[in-house]
């Protein structure tokens, strides 16, 4: 590494505002998910028949539901479940899709043609309908939700990575690595993939936001996390019959979804800005 390069590497890149905001939101979310018992003022499942359907107050900032359960505490405990949905609903698709994409992009030729057809077939299938159908057959619950989402979701990562690797493998440094006699897995994993993976990483952030929306939608419909587990979609469904009289039961968990989704989107946008090659 030459002197100027070393200096440049030492200087921190300017962190875009969107990225900082995204990181801040998600850090708070992570803390809430990690230690809800330290942050939540009440137990998420404790009934309190003296405080039924109470509006927001100092004692219950987000109000209480029809069993007197504290909505703030339930919303905080739900961070754990919904962030878990974001992670487990995407991680298998991200890893598997990236590997498939790397192989397809490197092999090229017939593999690219076959893969292109597979993509065409799967993307015409309405994602939500397919996931709902799979969950309907396998049964409601988070594990089956993960299976359903992963079964479909990997294709999007594979498409992004395949396109990137196909470009990289034609560049000089890839040829140089081949001339040096490196093994194919080494060329793909150590040399090509690192130059491609940032696009997949940015998509992963959006994907986690989408997965929370999907997970809470299924929770709302009764097909995702099962009560009494505190999950935002389930919490919103709990309050839907009280919307006119006790709006707080549904509104506050919804705001948690919106802010967390925004956090992932901002992080994704910020990463995209940061990782975009400078000219």
Partner 1 sequence: MPSLGYVVRRVLQMVPTLVFILVVTFVLVRLLPGDPLSAIAGDRVTDAQVAQARAAYGLDEPLLTQFLIYVRHVATGDLGRSIVVQAPVRNLVTERLPPTLMLTAMSVLIGVGLAVPLAFASALRRGRAADFAIRAGAQISLSMPVFYIGLVLLTVFAAQLRWFPVGGYGDDWGERAYHLFLPAVTLGVSLAAILMRNLRAAIIEVLGAEYVDFARAKGLATRVVLLRHVLRNALISTLALLGPTVGALLGGAVITESVFAIPGIGRLMIESIYGRDYPVIQGLTLILALLVSLAFLVTDLIQAALDPRVAR
**Is position 132 an interface residue for partner 1 (rule: CB under 8 A)?**
yes
Gap between the Cα atoms of 102 and 93, Å rounded: 14
**Is position 129 an interface residue for partner 1 (rule: CB under 8 A)?**
yes
Taking residues 225 to 264 in sequence order and writing x for each that binds partner 1 by CB under 8 A, - otherwise, the string is --------x--x---x--xx--x--xx--x--xxxxxx--
The CA–CA distances, whole Å, from 159 to 154, 260, 276 equal 9, 26, 19
Structure-block tokens of residue 1: 């590494």
Nearest in space to 254 (alpha carbons), one of 225, 217, 228: 217
Cβ-based neighbours of 220, under 8 Å, separated by 6 or more = 233, 234, 236, 237
**Is position 89 an interface residue for partner 1 (rule: CB under 8 A)?**
no
**Is position 55 an interface residue for partner 1 (rule: CB under 8 A)?**
no
Check if the beta carbon of residue 269 is closer than 8 Å to that of residue 17.
no
Q: Which stretch binds partner 1 (CB under 8 A): 6-14, 68-76, 129-137, 167-175?
A: 129-137
- How far does CA 10 lie from the centroid of its chain? 31
Q: Which of 133, 167, 171, 189 binds partner 1 (CB under 8 A)?
A: 133
CB of 208 to partner 1, least distance (A): 12
Q: Which of residues 200-229 bind partner 1 (CB under 8 A)?
A: 209, 213, 216-217, 220-223
Q: Which stretch binds partner 1 (CB under 8 A): 9-17, 41-49, 115-123, 187-195?
A: 115-123
CB of 255 to partner 1, least distance (A): 9
Check if the beta carbon of residue 155 is closer than 8 Å to that of residue 104.
no
CA triplet 30, 32, 36: central angle to 5 degrees? Answer: 135
Task: Tell me the site size for partner 1, rule CB under 8 A.
Answer: 42
Q: Which residues bind partner 1 (CB under 8 A)?
A: 117, 120-130, 132-134, 136-138, 209, 213, 216-217, 220-223, 233, 236, 240, 243-244, 247, 250-251, 254, 257-262, 265
């Amino acid at each position: 590494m030459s002197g100027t390069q070393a200096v440049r590497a030492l200087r921190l890149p300017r962190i875009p505002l969107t990225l900082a905001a995204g990181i801040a939101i998600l850090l708070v979310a992570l803390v809430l998910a990690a230690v809800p018992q330290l942050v939540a003022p009440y137990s998420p499942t404790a009934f309190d028949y003296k405080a039924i359907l109470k509006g927001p107050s100092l004692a219950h900032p987000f109000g209480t539901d029809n069993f007197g359960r504290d909505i703030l505490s339930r919303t905080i405990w739900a961070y754990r479940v919904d962030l878990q949905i974001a992670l487990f609903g995407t991680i298998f698709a991200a890893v598997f899709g990236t590997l498939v994409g790397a192989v397809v992009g490197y092999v090229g030729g017939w593999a690219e043609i076959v893969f292109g057809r597979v993509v065409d077939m799967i993307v015409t299938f309405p994602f939500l309908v397919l996931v709902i159908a799979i969950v309907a057959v396998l049964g409601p619950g988070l594990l089956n939700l993960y299976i359903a989402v992963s079964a479909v979701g990997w294709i999007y990562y594979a498409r992004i990575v395949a396109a990137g690797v196909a470009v990289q493998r034609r560049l000089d440094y890839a040829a140089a690595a081949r001339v040096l006699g490196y093994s194919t897995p080494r060329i793909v994993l150590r040399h090509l993939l690192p130059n491609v993976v940032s696009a997949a990483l940015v998509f992963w952030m959006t994907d986690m936001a989408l997965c929370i929306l999907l997970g809470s939608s299924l929770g709302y419909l009764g097909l995702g996390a099962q009560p009494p587990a505190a999950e935002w979609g389930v919490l919103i469904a709990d309050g839907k019959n009280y919307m006119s009289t006790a709006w707080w039961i549904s509104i506050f968990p919804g705001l948690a979804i919106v802010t967390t989704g925004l956090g992932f989107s901002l992080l994704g946008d910020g990463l995209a800005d940061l990782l975009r090659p400078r000219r």
